[in-house]
Amino acid sequence: MPNRSIFTLDNEQAYQTWREKKLAGYPQTLSDLIVEVQNPFELSDQERTALLAICAKTNMVIYAVKQPELITENPLPALLRQLGVTEIDRNLGADTGGLSKLSPGGAAQATFADYIPYRQAQIGWHTDGYYNTANNQVQTLALYCERSAHEGGENALIDHEIAYIHLRDQNPDFIRALMDPEVMTIPARMEGERVARPDRTGPVFSVDPDHGHLHMRYTARTISIRWKDSDLVREALAALTHFLNHPSPYLFEGRLEAGLGLISNNVLHTRGAFKDLDGGPKRVLYRLRCHDRVGVKI
């Protein structure tokens, strides 16, 4: 049976084999996810292999540039190209190259300056691009920290495949409910009387039809969202919320300092509120989203 059926509910034996392998030797601490990189523009074979191996296990890896003071341009596009990721998501808050500067006032268009990624506020659990169309889902999320905040800005991270396992272990019907193509709707974004983006409706969990990978589309927001009116959906969401907000050996927490970055297959993540000193330098964190997945083209 092809791997693409592992995340559906009709091939229990293949799923249990994958589950056992997935959980065996799973990293225990954030430091287990870190790979030191000498030059992100020209990875060594050893560095590239290590980045891909950790990401294959956990859907995320932290890279640490050894001498970030020598970096004179943003390393994200070149770094991702070396990992087989090239299909950049050119979202409206990003610059012409698809990079978003997640810093107060960093939005490329003034329309988006007040959106939460460009403010200092806390952001709850989510995956990126949950308002994208079905054929343009964000598969890769990458970050690079040029300068950390004076205070705060920590991230929490959970592999979406681990969330899937947790829910399926509790009740396989939770997966069935969250794979419903009409379960989650992000309402239209309006600009005055004009519809700038229509409603986006789709599943939480879906399976890539070409490669069989699991994708997750989720936000913990409680406004500007509509969930399917179903007791089972409510139970599934309550179980997911409980898992995300309670201690777990699969929860990684930390803060990206200068020279550190995240490469992930769009895992679940949060961002803590942060503060910069009045009149001092601002936090500068760059984000790149892509429509292809780490390692698929390797």
CATH number at residue 175: 3.60.130.10
Q: Is residue 218 situated within a structural domain? A: yes
What's the angle, vertex CA 257, arms to CA 119 and CA 87, rounded to 5? 70
Q: Is residue 165 situated within a structural domain? A: yes
* Position 35, amino acid: V
Structure tokens belonging to residue 50? 């290590």
The Cα–Cα gap between 55 and 50 comes to: 8
Q: Is residue 110 situated within a structural domain? A: yes
pLDDT means per 10 residues, the chain with 298 residues, are 70 94 97 98 98 97 96 95 95 81 70 71 94 94 96 96 98 98 94 88 94 94 95 98 97 97 98 90 94 75
- The pLDDT of residue 235 is 98
DSSP state of 222: S
The Cα–Cα gap between 158 and 59 comes to: 9
Helices (H), 179-258: 231-244
Q: Is residue 201 situated within a structural domain? A: yes
Q: Is residue 199 situated within a structural domain? A: yes
The Cα–Cα gap between 202 and 227 comes to: 10
- The pLDDT of residue 96 is 76
Note down the domain range covering 263.
3-290
Burial of residue 161 (number of CB atoms within 10 Å: 0-12, 13-18, 19+): buried
- The pLDDT of residue 104 is 77
Q: Is residue 295 situated within a structural domain? A: no
Structure tokens belonging to residue 28? 């225990």
Q: How many distinct structural domains can be found in the chain?
A: 1
Q: Is residue 298 situated within a structural domain? A: no
- The pLDDT of residue 106 is 63
The Cα–Cα gap between 284 and 149 comes to: 8
Structure tokens belonging to residue 108? 């490329």
Tell me if residue 157 falls in helix, strand or coil. Answer: strand
